[in-house]
Structure formats: structure tokens, C-alpha cells
């Protein structure tokens, strides 16, 4: 039963009478309010002055000509009766007539206690009495008789439902199961069966739910999550991610929308626990006073940076590398600190997340923080992508996979961004160059001759001189002559092959390089199919390079 008053004036009247009216007066007001209830028409409007006078037998001090909807008046007067009698602490033995409990009425009319609760919302007036040392809901015998007189059809329907034979219940279940097999949800099934059998929708719904609880293995709408395999639950989550609504999923899997939402939340929580939230700790993160500064926008550069104009005809995803300005030392420090703080905060919130009962608002916060950290990391990576291309171009040799080399270098750059300890005051470009070259030394057999040049301990790397940011310019100039050739051979691919190459090797500056599995999920094909298409695309690129006499390995 709804315990919230709809009319502020009636709630204030309740408060006034509970505080100041004598016990005998409150008893009289409860009786008058109940009598008034039997006379009101929910479809009409009534002046508040009229309601006030009928309950208290006095006129209100102020003129309040406001009209009250009959439905709202009925709702609030029932609450008024219960609240007034609750304040009286009246024992059952003190009542002037017999008092029935919910259980008494359930047996009297052969209906469930849930039905009695619904009757209270439909006009059965309840009061509160002290019984066996505690407050309990009770119904005066006169109140019950009045409700029965005014609701004979409702009473007969409830009794008829309770007197339903086993055969009738079996017929309801058989019809429900047959309709549910077509993909209909519980509401649709209840509505159709109710029409076919001339019963209320609520009766059909209650019968189905009761049967499903008692017979989980034969349920019309199974609610047990363990009846779905982990693979099935993951499939539901993936379908929802692709835009399938919860209503459609409920119909497709013959489950209620609530159970689908529960599965989606648990799967979402499982994904959150898999998020890579490792971060470089810093004492600054523990002080809330630093948060505003840490999360502020990146400081603007006061230095004039030299920007290289990309060669004519360069495809957008390569020309865009020249549009992203390099970071100065202050900007670099700010972005690394912000990225690691966002992951620190997301990791702290994730520790509060319960896998079996995840809170949606908490998951929203964690995912937002993680997405923000990825956006910051992407900005760092994008500002250094030209470094990867330049190093790859300088060290590619006949027989090497040029595009694979770029992809490996991009992954090394990303890993370097995640592991770089900005608080030491060293430059990221030196650390990233060392990481990329170390990976190239493993990837390219001929590159082993360069290992001595780049072999150094991490301490030696971090002790290098401050970043002059001038080394990129020479590398970019060296790369410019090759970009036009790369553009020409990429144009030999069809659209799908081009998309795979761009995603796999990180040629779109807005996104990180992706794995075969990630590209497959996005294009809705298997990982193996993506691998096959990638090999075919690379073969085309090698053939185009050979035909154009471009120095790119086969």
C-alpha cells in the first residue's frame, strides 16, 4: 500500500490531528473519514473545505477553495484513517466491534494475503491496533461488510480464482506455454490467456508465476540464471551491445525483462573487473585538494613549435599525424599524471563493486573514468606516432614486413605510455624510443646489430638529458618521401581490406591498434577470417609495391 500522501493539505491535517487532537476526537475523525470514503466518487472533484469539515466537523481557518481530485482524496483518506488509528495505540480488545487480521480475511474469502493487500488499494479500509505487544493492520467488521457490499464482483472473482480446479490451472499453464513458445513475454502471455479464458490478467500472471516458482525445471518463464550457460549470458550481453533492446532479448530468450537486466548488469560487472587499471602510483592522488588541478585541461604551449607540412596526396589517416602537435614538457607531465590518476580512481571504485549485485551508478562511474583515461592515453600516443613511423622507416629492410613493423612499434609505444613513470622528471620520447627499438631488435633479425647501440639499463635511460624535442623534425623529414608511396599502394585495397589494415596497424590517429579478435567483433566476423583478409591485403600491398618499384618488403 502506497504510504505517500498525494495532497499536501491532507498530510498537514494528519500531522495536526496526531499532535493536538485528543484520543477520543481522533477516533471520531477516523470513523468520519471512513464514512466519507464510502460516499466519494473517484471520478469527481471535491473542495478541500468540504473534506476538512466532514472529517473534523469544523471549518478551516483560511479559505482554501482548492479542488481535490476524487481519486487522490480516496487514496489519502485511507492513509489518514490508518495513520490516525496508529497514533492512538488502541488495543484490539478496546475496539467497539470485531477486528479481522489479513490472515483472517484470507481464510474468510478463500483468497491469498496478496489479494487482500490489493483490496486495500481498491478501498478496503484498514486500521492499526496493538496486538500481542506490537502494531498490526486490522479491519473493523463493519469496514469489511461495507467493502463487500460495494465490490461484490471483485470479491466473487477473487473467490473464483482461489477455487480454481487443478484442471483449470493446468489449462492456463498449457496455453501459456504454447503462446510463450512463439516468443511472447509474460505480459503478452497473461493478456492473451486472460482473454481466451475470460479471467483477469492478474489472475493469469499470478498463476504462471506461482507455477514457475514451484516447478523451475518446467517453468513457462524460467528465472533461474543457472539455467543459462555462461556462454549464453555472454551472448545476451553482446546482443545488447549491438543494439538489441531488453524487451526483444526477453522475448527471444523467453525470460522476463528483469532477469535480462540482471544478466546484463552481471556481465557488465565481469567486463569491468577485466579492465586494465594498472597505474603508476603517486602521493598526489591521495590528497583531494590536488584533484581539481590534476583533472584540469592540458596547459597551452607558450612555445612556437615548428610543424611539418604533409606531402601532397597523403591519405587522411596518415596526413593527420602531421596535424597533431608535439607535447612540451609541461603538457606531457600533465597528461601522464591525469591518465594515471583516472585509473587510480577507477581502481578504487572497482574495489567497492560486488560482482553478484553490481550497482549501475557505480559501474557508470568506473567506465567513465576508464574511458577518460583511454582518451588521455590516446592523446599521448597520437602525439608520438610519427616517432614510430620514422623509426620503422629507418630500420625496415628487404624481407621485413613494413606494416607489421609499424603495428609492433605502435604497440610498444602504447605499452611505454602505460609504464612510464612521469614523476622522475625524464622525457618520454627517450623512454619510448628505447622501448620501440628493443622490440624491433627482437622483431627484425638484421636489427640485432643495433642492439649494442640501444642496450642500456632503465636507470641509464631515465638519467638522460632533458627533452629538447628537436629530434622529431629530422625523423619527420626522413619519412615524408615515403608517405606518398604508402598512399598509392593502400589505394589498391578494397574498402573492407583498407579498414582492416587501418585498424590493425593503428593508422587512424583517433584509435589504438586493435587485435584480430577486436577487429573481428567490430566487423562481425571471426578472428580467423580477419587474419585471412589481413594476409590477403598484405599480399596485395606487396604486389603493388613491387609493381611500383617501392622499397617495401614482400
The model's confidence at residue 469, banded by pLDDT at 50, 70 and 90, is very low
Q: Are residues 52 and 127 both part of a single domain?
A: yes
d(CA 257, CA 249) in angstroms, rounded, equals: 8
- pLDDT at position 507, please? 64
Reported as a single tens digit per residue, the pLDDT across 474-521 is 444 445 555 556 667 777 888 888 888 878 876 665 567 788 888 888
| pLDDT on residue 514 | 80
pLDDT at 437: 81
207 in a domain, yes or no?
A: yes
Strand order in the sheet with 127-131: 99-100, 134-140, 127-131
User: How is residue 407 written as a grid cell?
Assistant: 603495428
Q: What is the pLDDT of residue 486?
A: 65
Same-domain pairing of 176 and 250: no
47 and 192 housed in the same domain: no
Report d(CA 153, CA 220) in Å as an integer: 30
Q: Angle of helix 428-443 relative to helix 385-395, nearest 10 degrees? A: 40
496: containing domain: 305-326+383-547
373 domain-assigned: no
Do 88 and 168 lie in one domain? The reply is no
The answer to whether position 282 is within a domain reads: no
In a domain, 485, yes or no: yes
Task: Give the model confidence (pLDDT) of 78-133 as tens digits.
Answer: 999 999 999 998 888 888 888 998 888 887 887 777 788 888 888 889 999 988 78
Whole-structure pTM over 0.75, yes or no? no
Does one domain contain both 440 and 520? Answer: yes
Q: Is the pLDDT of residue 371 over 90?
A: yes
Average pLDDT score over residue span 332-338: 92
Same domain? 389 vs 459 = yes
Domain end (from 117, 149, 181): 149
- Quick check: 62 pLDDT over 80? no
* Residue 365 reports pLDDT greater than 90: yes
- What is the reported pLDDT for 474? 46
Looking at the domain assignment, is residue 296 inside a domain? no
The SS3 assignment for 134 reads strand
* Residue 549 predicted with pLDDT over 70: no
Q: Is residue 375 part of a domain?
A: no
The pLDDT value given to residue 465: 40
CA distance 396 to 375: 30
Q: Residues near 193 by Cβ (< 8 Å), separated by ≥ 6?
A: 172, 175, 176, 179, 199, 204
Checking if the pLDDT of 473 tops 60, the result is: no
Q: Same structural domain for residues 245 and 174? A: no
Residues 99, 179 within the same domain: no
pLDDT band at 368 (very low <50, low <70, confident <90, very high): very high
pLDDT of residue 540: 83
The per-residue pLDDT for 404 is: 73
Q: Report pLDDT digits (tens) over 137-186.
A: 999 998 888 888 888 887 777 666 555 678 888 899 999 988 887 777 78
The number of domains in the chain is: 4
- List CB contacts of 353: < 8 A, sequence separation 6 or more: 269, 272, 273, 359, 362, 363, 366
Q: Alpha-carbon torsion 144, 150, 154, 159, what sign?
A: positive
pLDDT given for residue 321 in this prediction: 67
Q: What is the chain's mean pLDDT, rounded?
A: 80
Name the pLDDT band for 252 (thresholds 50, 70, 90): confident
pLDDT at 344: 94
Mean pLDDT, rounded, for 440-467: 47
In a domain, 378, yes or no: no
Residue 470 placed within a domain: yes
Do 187 and 119 lie in one domain? The reply is no
Amino acid at each position: 500500500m502506497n504510504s505517500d500522501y498525494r495532497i499536501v493539505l491532507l498530510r498537514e491535517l494528519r500531522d495536526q490531528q496526531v499532535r493536538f487532537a485528543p484520543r477520543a476526537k481522533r477516533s471520531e475523525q477516523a470513523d468520519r473519514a471512513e464514512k466519507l470514503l464510502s460516499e466519494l466518487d473517484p471520478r469527481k472533484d471535491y473542495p478541500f473545505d468540504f473534506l476538512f469539515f466532514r472529517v473534523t466537523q469544523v471549518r478551516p481557518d483560511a479559505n482554501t477553495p482548492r479542488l481535490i481530485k476524487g481519486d487522490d482524496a480516496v487514496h489519502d483518506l485511507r492513509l489518514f484513517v490508518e495513520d490516525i488509528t496508529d497514533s492512538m495505540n488502541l488495543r484490539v480488545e478496546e475496539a467497539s466491534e470485531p477486528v479481522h487480521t489479513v490472515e483472517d480475511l484470507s481464510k474468510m474469502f478463500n483468497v491469498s494475503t496478496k489479494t487482500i493487500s490489493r483490496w486495500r488499494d481498491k478501498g478496503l479500509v484498514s486500521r492499526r491496533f496493538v496486538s500481542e505487544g506490537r502494531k498490526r493492520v486490522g479491519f473493523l467488521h463493519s469496514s469489511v461488510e461495507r467493502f463487500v457490499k460495494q465490490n461484490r464482483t471483485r470479491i466473487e472473482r477473487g473467490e473464483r480464482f482461489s477455487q480454481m480446479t487443478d484442471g483449470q490451472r493446468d489449462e492456463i499453464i498449457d496455453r501459456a506455454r504454447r503462446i510463450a513458445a512463439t516468443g511472447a513475454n509474460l505480459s503478452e502471455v497473461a493478456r492473451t490467456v486472460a482473454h481466451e479464458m475470460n479471467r483477469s490478467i492478474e489472475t493469469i500472471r499470478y498463476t504462471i508465476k506461482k507455477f514457475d516458482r514451484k516447478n523451475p525445471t518446467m517453468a513457462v518463464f524460467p528465472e533461474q540464471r543457472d539455467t543459462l550457460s555462461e556462454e549464453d549470458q555472454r551472448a545476451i550481453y553482446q546482443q545488447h551491445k549491438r543494439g538489441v533492446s531488453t524487451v526483444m532479448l526477453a522475448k527471444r530468450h523467453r525470460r522476463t525483462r528483469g532477469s535480462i537486466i540482471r544478466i546484463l548488469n552481471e556481465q557488465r560487472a565481469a567486463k569491468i573487473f577485466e579492465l586494465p587499471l594498472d597505474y603508476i602510483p603517486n602521493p598526489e592522488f591521495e590528497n583531494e585538494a590536488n584533484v581539481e588541478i590534476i583533472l584540469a585541461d592540458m596547459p597551452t604551449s607558450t612555445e612556437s613549435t615548428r610543424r611539418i607540412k604533409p606531402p601532397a596526396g597523403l591519405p587522411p589517416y596518415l596526413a593527420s599525424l602531421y596535424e597533431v602537435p608535439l607535447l612540451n614538457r609541461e603538457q606531457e607531465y600533465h597528461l601522464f599524471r591525469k591518465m594515471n590518476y583516472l585509473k587510480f580512481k577507477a581502481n578504487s571504485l572497482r574495489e567497492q563493486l560486488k560482482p553478484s549485485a553490481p550497482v549501475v551508478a557505480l559501474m557508470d562511474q568506473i567506465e567513465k573514468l576508464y574511458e577518460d583515461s583511454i582518451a588521455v592515453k590516446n592523446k599521448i600516443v597520437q602525439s608520438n606516432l610519427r616517432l614510430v613511423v620514422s623509426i620503422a622507416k629507418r630500420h625496415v629492410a628487404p624481407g621485413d614486413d613494413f606494416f607489421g613493423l609499424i603495428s609492433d612499434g605502435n604497440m610498444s609505444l602504447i605499452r611505454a605510455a602505460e609504464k612510464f613513470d612521469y614523476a622522475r622528471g625524464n622525457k618520454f620520447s627517450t623512454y619510448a624510443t628505447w622501448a620501440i627499438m628493443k622490440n624491433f631488435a627482437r622483431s627484425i633479425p638484421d636489427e640485432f646489430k643495433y642492439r649494442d647501440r640501444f642496450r642500456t639499463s632503465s636507470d641509464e635511460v631515465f638519467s638522460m638529458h632533458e627533452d629538447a624535442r628537436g629530434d622529431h623534425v629530422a625523423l619527420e623529414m626522413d619519412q615524408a618521401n615515403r608517405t606518398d608511396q604508402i598512399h598509392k599502394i593502400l589505394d589498391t585495397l578494397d574498402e573492407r581490406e583498407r579498414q582492416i589494415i587501418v585498424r590493425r596497424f593503428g593508422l587512424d590517429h583517433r584509435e589504438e591498434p586493435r587485435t584480430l579478435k577486436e577487429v573481428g567483433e567490430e566487423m562481425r566476423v571471426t578472428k580467423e577470417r580477419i587474419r585471412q583478409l589481413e594476409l590477403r591485403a598484405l599480399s596485395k600491398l606487396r604486389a603493388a609495391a613491387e609493381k611500383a618499384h617501392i622499397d617495401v618488403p614482400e
